[in-house]
Amino acid sequence: MSEHGAVRKWKEQGAHRLLGASLVLAATVAAPVAAGDNGRSRAEPSREFTLGVVQKELKQGLSQADVAERLGSPNLVTRDAEGREAWVYDRVSTEVDASSGNVGIAGAGSGVGGTFAGILGVSAGKRSERIRSSQKTLTVVVRFSATGAVESFTWHSSRF
């Protein structure tokens, strides 16, 4: 194969790689758009359940309907011997922190007066990844009077 034939073949291979990479990128971007959700879940957005929200939203005297509207459905409902209900909200969340890094050296090429010289496709590198996760729990117990109004509420929060 002549030198010009090798250069032409190299250019064609590069064009095919570029076309393939472009198609993968287009598919990645187009899939959520075609689905009509722009990458967001179609489920109803959940309100963040934090101790701050609980302390802001809960007040003595609120009805059960008001509590359900402000905090959502409880995980557990209990009733004592006198008929008073207690609602338990138990939430666990996981936070994941991932980081990675790459260091690399790439090749370069140049064409001079019909000849082609250079180093092509040479690369070297090091990849490192670090993943750290933690969990938080928040348990809230809301106690109601016999008439269905908030009597008191307590909470326990932990992180590990």
Residue 36: predicted pLDDT: 47
- β-partners of residue 45 are none
Q: Please check whether residue 106 is in contact with residue 122, taking contact to mean a CB–CB distance below 8 angstroms.
A: yes
Residue 25: predicted pLDDT: 38
Q: Please check whether residue 153 is in contact with residue 138, taking contact to mean a CB–CB distance below 8 angstroms.
A: no
Instruction: Indicate yes or no: pTM above 0.85.
Output: no
Q: Enumerate the domain spans of the chain.
A: 1-45, 48-159
Residue 48: predicted pLDDT: 83
C-alpha dihedral (108, 110, 116, 120), degrees to nearest 10: 10
Residue 138: predicted pLDDT: 96
Residue 8: predicted pLDDT: 57
Residue 103: predicted pLDDT: 61
Residue 44: predicted pLDDT: 42
Cα–Cα distance for residue pair 158/135, rounded to 1 Å: 8
160 residues of the chain, pLDDT tens digit each: 555 555 455 455 554 444 444 434 344 444 444 444 444 434 344 568 899 999 999 999 999 999 999 999 999 999 999 999 999 999 998 988 888 776 655 555 555 555 555 555 555 566 778 899 999 999 999 999 999 999 999 999 999 8
